[in-house]
């Protein structure tokens, strides 16, 4: 197999939950040696949160953890103890990159801030991906992606006009890792050219704002505040997810212009209502959208979602069935063809599927490894990386430094 593009790069990974581990997963999947530094005192949320394999809880059985931490190693260190911090610093001396996604200032308060770490390893690259960044009045705000989705304005435009803002979950947690990985790669390139490391202060909040860019520009130019439109779009009608045959089956259909409208009408058999003048133009369809959606649903409710998708696409009408998790993993022909989910053997899960990276490099294809068990690589980390003896490790175990 070809050498992976990031082989030889070493990462001391202090991240947890979603944004941080997903960021370092990119590095690990492409060949970097990523060592997760974990603790039972404050375990990764997704090690102890469901869903679990067979609904049996356990730190190695969480579906999300095993999905987002592929190709990594794990060692256990209690960072709350002075000796734990000293061990962490030794891993920093070994590493090229240090990554965390705690609240702003947390690593400084732990005695592991950039000013300390660069004294240990002058060319270290440290990436901190906090909600708000390391400066400003909100810099030390803790939180998760659902709170950040709200403050970024995404919740404000999600949902229906007559209801409260929608809860769209950890949306920003999917955005930040792309910026984090790209920023780290840029810093690696800079260090390759100059020999100098640097500190990367990545504010997840600011990265998420590009996803509401049109809304911000509309306010800037027109002083207009965007509102909630449900599944509608001012540029198209019909536009939404329409109920199909079966239990909780849906198909997303979009008609943006008159040519697509004519194709849509032919596809559904040109019923008499499609000839009515009020639906002849986009403006008319928008004015009568409530009734239009009822009429469209009366047709789609008797259709199989996948068949309807194929028929619409063949006619040139944008449409896509609404996948369930089962659809995505078992039946989606595109994902199956590109081998996006890869089977790996796991000591507790048996065989399971985890996602690889969405980009395919022709010279250095991505082949992932399973996620690590908690503390699975303690012996390697302490002996091979730090050069410790069995007696030294045993003493740390007795003192609770190694858990």
What is the bridge-based pairing of β-strands 350-355 and 239-243? unpaired
Backbone phi, psi, residue 32, to 5°:
-65, 150
Distance of CA 204 to the CA centre of its chain: 12
Tracing tokens 């901190």 back to the chain, one arrives at 128
Segment (H or E) for 284: helix 282-287
Distance of CA 235 to the CA centre of its chain: 29
Count of CB atoms within 10 A of residue 264's CB?
Answer: 21
The token duo for 253 is 């259909």
Helix axes 19-29, 172-194, angle to 10 degrees: 50
Which among 70, 75, 138, 128 has a CA at the least distance from the CA of 102?
A: 128
Give the three-class secondary structure for 32.
coil
290 is catalytic: no
* CA neighbours closer than 13 Å in the CB half-sphere of residue 70: 23
The conformation of residue 373, written as its DSSP 8-state character, comes to: P
Which of the residues 55, 173, 248, 257 is marked catalytic? 173
Which among 178, 28, 41, 169 has a CA at the least distance from the CA of 110?
A: 41
Helix axes 258-267, 305-314, angle to 10 degrees: 130
Which among 30, 21, 20 has a CA at the least distance from the CA of 366?
A: 30
Residues with Cβ within 8 Å of 338's Cβ and at least 6 positions away in sequence, in order, are 360
Rounded distance between C-alpha atoms, residue 106 and residue 39, angstroms: 16
Please name every residue paired with 97 in a beta bridge, in sequence order, or none if there are none. Answer: 11, 125
- Helix H segments across 95-136? 106-109, 114-120
- Helix H segments across 45-138? 63-68, 82-94, 106-109, 114-120
Q: Which residues are catalytic?
A: 173
């Amino acid at each position: 197999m070809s050498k992976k593009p990031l082989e030889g790069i070493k990462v001391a990974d202090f991240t947890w939950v979603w944004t941080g581990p997903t960021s370092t997963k990119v590095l690990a999947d492409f060949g970097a040696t990523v060592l997760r530094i974990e603790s039972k005192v404050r375990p990764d949320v997704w090690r102890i949160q469901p869903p679990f394999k067979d609904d049996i809880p356990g730190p190695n059985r969480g579906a999300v953890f095993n999905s987002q931490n592929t190709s990594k190693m794990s060692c256990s260190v209690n960072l709350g103890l002075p000796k734990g911090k000293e061990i962490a610093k030794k891993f920093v001396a070994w590493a090229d990159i240090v990554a965390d996604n705690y609240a702003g200032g947390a690593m400084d308060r732990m005695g592991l801030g950039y000013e300390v770490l660069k004294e240990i390893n002058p060319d270290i690259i440290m990436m901190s991906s906090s909600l708000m960044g390391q400066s400003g009045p909100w810099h030390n705000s803790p939180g998760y992606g659902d709170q950040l989705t709200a403050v970024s304005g995404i919740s404000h435009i999600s949902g229906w006009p007559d209801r409260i803002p929608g809860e769209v979950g950890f949306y920003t947690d999917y955005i930040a890792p792309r910026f984090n990985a790209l920023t780290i790669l840029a810093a690696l390139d800079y260090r390759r050219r100059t020999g100098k490391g640097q500190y990367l202060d990545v504010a997840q909040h600011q990265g998420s704002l590009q996803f509401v860019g049109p809304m911000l520009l509309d306010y800037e130019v027109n002083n207009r505040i965007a509102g909630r439109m449900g599944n509608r779009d001012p540029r198209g009608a019909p536009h939404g997810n329409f109920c199909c045959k079966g239990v909780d089956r849906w198909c997303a259909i979009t008609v943006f212009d008159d040519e697509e409208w004519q194709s849509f009408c032919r596809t559904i058999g040109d019923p008499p209502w499609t000839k009515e003048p009020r639906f002849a133009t986009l403006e008319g369809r928008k004015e009568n959208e409530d009734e239009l959606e009822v009429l469209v649903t009366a047709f789609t409710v008797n259709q199989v979602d996948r068949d309807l998708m194929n028929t619409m696409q063949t006619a040139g009408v944008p449409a896509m069935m609404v996948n369930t998790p089962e659809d995505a993993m078992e039946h989606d022909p595109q994902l199956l063809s590109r081998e996006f989910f890869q089977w790996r053997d796991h000591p507790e899960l048996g065989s399971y599927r985890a996602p690889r990276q969405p980009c395919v490099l022709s010279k250095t294809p991505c082949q992932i490894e399973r996620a690590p068990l908690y503390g699975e690589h303690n012996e390697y980390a302490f002996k091979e990386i730090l050069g410790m003896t069995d007696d030294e490790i045993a003493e740390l175990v007795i003192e609770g430094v190694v858990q």
